[in-house]
């Protein structure tokens, strides 16, 4: 909507967003219409096709430098694309943009060899990866790690167990974050490794079925022997995983925020359209103030959330990366989208609750957004610390 307050910050890259939306409508919507209506996520081979096609068109991982295979877009453009993917309502659109299975900012800290061997194929959509950070006793408290890499002659031996790892079943490589035992008794922080999924000693254990059809996996690490070239960043990367991760948190959180805002906008549109058509007690339900309350409150919250996300993205492009900004945006967008989807489903009554209805799927899909990339409570902890509380 051109008169919406968020339009002041939105539409900074109109041609790019237009061509992305055309790609979704012309190529992805027809493919998505052939998916089974069981409400689950699309099969992996189709997602891989979408990823590669989008990379060939220059959308996937667009903010990476051209010399590495990206398109050199500003971050505000990437945020607008994530928003457009969510807003499209197309089940395949999110896979057209790099997410937690795509090029990881951790690898930007890699050695030139690691960048060429691992990061560039990820940027081009030719490879996919997973991040194995969470452990049974280390979720929000992510760096209290029990998995450990012990220095052994010139390499490392890794042992431990990781849980809730997305995409592990299809990934080409894992980014593993473990505690570090340098072997000389000194204390040091965690270290990040890049390891092929078929590396001896690394194997997938339990499979956890998620609410929206997405599986997560346990990864078991038993005497995984790697050379020094597996440490992200080389020798300088030993003990440096936390600093490397901090450097990349804002962008990941703003991707999630933008997608949530787009989904919220889509859900709100479905709610408004249905309310205008559906009749009860002889009137259109849109004339009832209780129904209006659901939709007007949603509109107010979506506008606020969009403005916050877009403003944070613009600050990042201006070189200002305040982690509490991204935490505020991710907290607001994920909580808003969860409420908006819930309200729009309520406006649809039983129709919205039935399998195959877009709101029934979104209701299950959106629920992860207040947990991934740091829970809502963890975002509040970050903001509280920034406020000196
Ligand atoms: C869909 C999905 C995909 C995921 N993908 C991956 C992946 O690819 N790789 C990976 O490594 N992990 C992944 N995870 C795991 C995810 O990172 C963790 O679930 C998340 O960090 C929270 O950890 P936890 O589940 O152990 O909850 P806990 O940390 O045990 O938290 C439980 C509750 O306590 C609250 N809490 C904890 N600490 C505090 C505090 N200090 N103050 C206030 N409240 C607090 C939390 O907010 C939460 O409500 C994924 C999770 C989901 C749901």
pLDDT digits (tens, 9 = 90+) for 118-136: 999 999 999 999 999 999 9
Tell me if 119 is assigned to some domain.
Answer: no
306 in any annotated domain? yes
Phi, psi of 77 (to 5 degrees): -65, -45
For the stretch 138-161, pLDDT in tens is: 999 998 999 999 999 889 999 999
Is residue 139, in this structure, part of any structural domain at all? yes
Pair 83, 11: CB distance under 8 Å: no
Decide: helix, strand or coil at residue 152.
strand
Whether 239 shows a pLDDT value over 80: the answer reads yes
Q: Which among 277, 283, 373, 377 is annotated as catalytic?
A: 373
pLDDT above 70: residue 102: yes
pLDDT at 248: 78
Asked if 273 and 335 sit in the same domain, the reply is: yes
Distances (CA, A) of 294 to 77, 158, 185, 301, 343: 31, 52, 60, 11, 6
Percentage of the chain with pLDDT > 90?
87
Structure confidence at residue 38 as a pLDDT band (50, 70, 90): low
Q: Looking at the structure, tell me whether residues 231 and 321 fall in a common domain.
A: no
Say whether both 259 and 276 belong to one domain.
yes
- Any domain includes 113: no
Residues lining ligand 1, judged by CB closer than 6 Å?
100, 130-134, 139-140, 164-166, 210, 216, 368, 371-372, 375, 377-378, 381
Q: Which of 140, 160, 175, 327 to mutate to test the pocket of ligand 1 (most atoms within 8 A of CB)?
A: 140
Residues 294 and 176 in one domain: no
SS3 state at 155: strand
Residue 43's pLDDT band, with cuts at 50, 70 and 90, is: confident
Among candidate residues 133, 132, 115, the one with its CA nearest the CA of residue 124: 115
| Residue 373 annotated in active site | yes
Verify that 232 and 250 share a domain, yes or no: no
Q: What is the pLDDT of residue 246?
A: 83
114: in domain: no
In a domain? residue 268: yes
Centroid of ligand 1 to alpha carbon of 375 (angstroms) = 6
Tell me how far the alpha carbon of residue 355 lies from the centroid of ligand 1, in angstroms. 28
Dihedral (Cα; 42, 267, 86, 141), 10-degree rounding: -90
CA 335 to CA 329: how far, in whole Å? Answer: 10
Q: Which residues span the domain enclosing 26? A: 5-106
94 and 136 together in one domain: no
- Triad 245, 250, 256: Cα angle to 5°: 110
Q: Which of 106, 137, 156 is the endpoint of a domain?
A: 106
Residue 122, in any domain of the structure: no
Domain-located, residue 124: no
Query: 223 and 254 in one domain?
Result: no
CA 120 vs CA 102, 195, 363: distances in Å: 10, 16, 35
Same domain, 354 and 306: yes
Higher pLDDT, 351 or 246: 351
What value does the mean pLDDT take over residues 337-343? 98
Residue 369 belongs to domain with CATH number = 1.20.140.10
- The predicted structure's pLDDT at residue 336: 98
Q: What is the pLDDT of residue 107?
A: 92
CA 322 and chain centroid, separation: 19
Average pLDDT over residues 28-34: 92
Domain stops at, among 182, 205, 238: 238
Domain count, the chain: 3
pLDDT in tens, 266-285: 999 999 999 999 999 999 99
DSSP state of 138: B
CATH of the domain at 70: 1.10.540
Among protein residues, the one with the nearest Cα to ligand 1's atom 35 is 377
pLDDT digits (tens, 9 = 90+) for 183-222: 888 989 999 999 999 999 999 999 999 998 889 999 999 9
> Do 195 and 253 fall into the same domain?
no
The more confident residue out of 100 and 22 is 22
C-alpha–C-alpha distance, residues 201 and 250, integer Å: 33
Do 153 and 52 belong together in one domain? Answer: no
Q: State in Å: Cα 162 to ligand 1 middle.
A: 13
| Backbone phi, psi, residue 188, to 5° | -150, 165
Report the nearest atom of ligand 1 relative to the CA of 376. 47
Residue minimizing CA distance to atom 52 of ligand 1: 372
Predicted confidence (pLDDT) at residue 387 exceeds the cutoff of 70: yes
Which of 211, 238, 265 represents a domain boundary (last residue)?
Answer: 238
Average pLDDT, whole number, for the chain?
Answer: 95
Which CATH number is 172's domain given? Answer: 2.40.110.10
Do both 382 and 254 map to the same domain?
Answer: yes
Q: Are residues 262 and 174 in the same domain?
A: no
């Amino acid at each position: 909507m051109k008169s919406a307050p968020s339009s002041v910050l939105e539409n900074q890259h109109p041609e790019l967003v237009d061509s992305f939306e055309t790609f979704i409508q012309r190529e992805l919507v027809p493919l998505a219409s052939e998916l089974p209506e069981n409400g689950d996520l699309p099969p992996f081979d189709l997602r891989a096709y979408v990823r590669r096609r989008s990379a060939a068109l220059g959308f996937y991982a667009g903010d990476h430098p051209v010399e590495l295979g990206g398109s050199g877009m500003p971050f505000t453009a990437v945020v607008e694309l994530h928003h457009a993917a969510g807003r499209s309502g197309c089940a395949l659109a999110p896979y057209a943009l790099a997410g937690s299975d795509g090029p990881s900012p951790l690898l930007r800290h890699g050695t030139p060899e690691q960048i060429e061997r691992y990061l560039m194929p990820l940027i081009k959509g030719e490879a996919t990866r997973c991040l194995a950070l969470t452990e049974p006793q280390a979720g929000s408290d992510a760096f209290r790690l029990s998995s450990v890499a012990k220095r052994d002659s010139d390499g490392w031996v890794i042992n431990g167990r990781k849980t809730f790892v997305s995409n592990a079943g299809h990934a080409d490589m894992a980014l593993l974050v473990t505690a570090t035992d340098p072997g000389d008794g000194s204390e040091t922080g965690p270290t990040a490794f890049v390891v092929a999924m078929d590396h001896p000693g690394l194997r997938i254990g339990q499979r956890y079925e998620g609410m929206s059809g997405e599986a997560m996996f346990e990864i078991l690490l038993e005497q995984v022997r790697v050379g020094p070239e597996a440490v992200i960043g080389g020798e300088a990367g030993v003990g440096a995983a936390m600093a490397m991760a901090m450097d990349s948190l804002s962008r990941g959180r703003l991707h999630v925020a933008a997608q949530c805002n787009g989904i919220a906008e889509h859900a709100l549109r479905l709610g408004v359209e249905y309310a205008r058509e559906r009749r009860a007690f002889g009137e259109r339900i849109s004339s009832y103030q209780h129904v209006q309350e659901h939709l007007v409150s949603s509109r107010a919250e979506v506008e606020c959330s969009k403005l916050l996300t877009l403003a944070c993205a613009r600050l990042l492009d201006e070189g200002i990366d305040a982690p509490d900004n991204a935490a505020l945006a991710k907290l607001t967008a994920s909580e808003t989208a969860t409420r908006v989807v819930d309200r729009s489903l309520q406006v649809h009554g039983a129709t919205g609750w039935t399998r195959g209805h877009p709101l029934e799927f979104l209701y299950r899909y959106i629920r992860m957004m207040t947990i991934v990339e740091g829970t809502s409570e963890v975002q509040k902890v970050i903001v509280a610390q920034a406020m000196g509380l």
